[in-house]
Structure 1
Amino acid sequence: MENQYLLHGKLTAKPGQQKELADILIQASQLVSMAKGCQLYVVSHDREDEVSVYVTEIWDSKTDHDDSLKVEGVRELIMKAMPILAAPPAKGQELEILRALGI
């Protein structure tokens, strides 16, 4: 059995488009929140950074995360976000969960 999978990523929007990017990611969170294995999907930002949006996800397994990209509507949201990104998304941090409460 695979261990839980945590992915933490930072996406950088073009100037003035942080809110639009965050809105797209929030829409994605609504689509995948009911996907098999989704334990947590958080969209956040740093008030001191006007271009970045962060996503933190916890899944029952990496396989469940990978399968979430097949949820209807997710690919369309990815395509909608791409033109407003300042750079291609960097690979997120895959972190090992040592302890999680309430999940």
Structure 2
Amino acid sequence: MNKYLLNGKLTAKPGHQEALAAILLQASELVATAKGCRLYVIGQNPDDPHSVYITEIWDSKADHDQSLKVEGVRELISQAMPLLDGPPAKGQELELLGGAGI
């Protein structure tokens, strides 16, 4: 299976986790129709009140990269950046082996 799987974690400044999550949920709606998007979900860990987690599955890395050109995505990125507690860390790229619903 040659899918592209990306796990990411963004850490918000104190008090901004909900706003960051809301922006990422808006982004998920925009990229849901992008070519190759199989999954784009946002989560949180109750034990980590400042972070928001993103899990993405794409048909290819190229499809993921193209999703950054979807109308409105760059605007959402610019809204999210001031909420972050430092620069975003590079997401964890994994080889997708398979699973239910894929």
Normalising by structure 2, report the TM-score.
0.97
**CA RMSD, 1 decimal:** 1.0
Query: 1:21 aligns to what?
Result: 20
Q: Deviations over 1:15-56 (max 9, x none)?
A: 000000000000000000010000000100001111000000
Secondary structure of the 2:48 match is coil
1 or 2, which has the higher strand percentage? 2
User: How many Å separate the matches in 1 of 2:99 and 2:31?
Assistant: 20
Secondary structure of the 1:8 match is strand
Query: 1:5 aligns to what?
Result: 4
Query: 1:33 aligns to what?
Result: 32
Percent of aligned positions with the same letter in both sequences?
69
Query: 1:61 aligns to what?
Result: 60
Q: In structure 1, what residue type is equivalent to 2:68?
A: L
Q: In structure 2, what residue type is equivalent to 1:50?
A: P
Tell me, yes or no, if structure 1 residue 86 matches structure 2 residue 85: yes
Secondary structure of the 2:34 match is coil
User: How many Å separate the matches in 1 of 2:80 and 2:71?
Assistant: 16
Gaps of 5+ in 1: none
Deviates more, 1:2-11 or 1:78-87: 2-11
Q: Deviations over 1:31-83 (max 9, x none)?
A: 00010000000100001111000000000000000000000000000000000
Shift of 1:100: 2.0
Q: In structure 2, what residue type is equivalent to 1:52?
A: S
Tell me, yes or no, if structure 1 residue 52 matches structure 2 residue 42: no
Secondary structure of the 1:45 match is strand
